Structure 1
């Protein structure tokens, strides 16, 4: 499984553009907000955590359709379906590699973009922490959508449509935990722990659902 992880990371680097496009889209979403809401720095700092989470969610959706597309094009997907190892475990490893290549750069870019929104250090740290534990759930959810659309020539839009409604709870608790870290009366740990639980839940359900979808597509 380590070989598979390294292989997918190398393919992501060789393909190029995935992480960069995601970060640039993240930057674009955050950068246009001040033009829409005006130069009110207090307002920007208040809505900053929500904007960063929405931008990260939309950016994460961009590359999900490529999760299995390369394997289908070079024939690796057929070998994955015939291997002795559990297919769900293989998909889990691929999701981890995909998140490292495309999701982790979004987490690392969050502090810089938080400065654009006039957020303080606590708010930036809270958003970065919640993205770190919550964004993998988007990848696990996206694995199901990518598996459903893998046989379609232009399945990117379909993947986004399938994934976005399921990712709303992750967005809600990610934003709630980020605001709770800044607002004193609101407790930080309950929404943060729920966010972790959602990631763990989808880490199990996502690869299993994707495995079933790939097997049905193969049949």
Structure 2
């Protein structure tokens, strides 16, 4: 009888250490998030395709660089003048790709499932900005990187897509699964700065 194989989370081996970090360091929460559907969307931001996407998702495509907006169950993240990352916690990847593809194909656009391309880590708490600043060259102060901001940048030696969530120090980091372990190790190592001395 064939054995059923289930995908493992890219950060399965780091979950315990990241959970320990959350209670060991006051003002810091680090949590690998469950996988979500993600579609790379290409469409003319000023054309009828963008309006069709807005009707389908219930939210306008963000046109200001380095911003994102909510949908009913996910986010639309600006990646370029005619490119966005659309995420959904409830849709299956192929369903999100198919539905968006049908919306934009008549307008010269395209939708491609990239769900397996990234995994996410949630980082929050009063120490979150300071921790990220040790390895990120962009200005992450709340005045420069407020809620609704996004950036394609590097943390340590790996590329990430970072989103500022909520009104406080709350971030979502998108990272390629093959680099997720490196990023987790970097977070664990750099957070030693905040651990109480014994």
TM-score, normalized by length of structure 2? 0.30
Q: Which has the higher contact order (CA 8 A, sep 6+)?
A: 1
Name whichever structure is richer in strand by fraction.
Answer: 2
TM-score, normalized by length of structure 1? 0.28
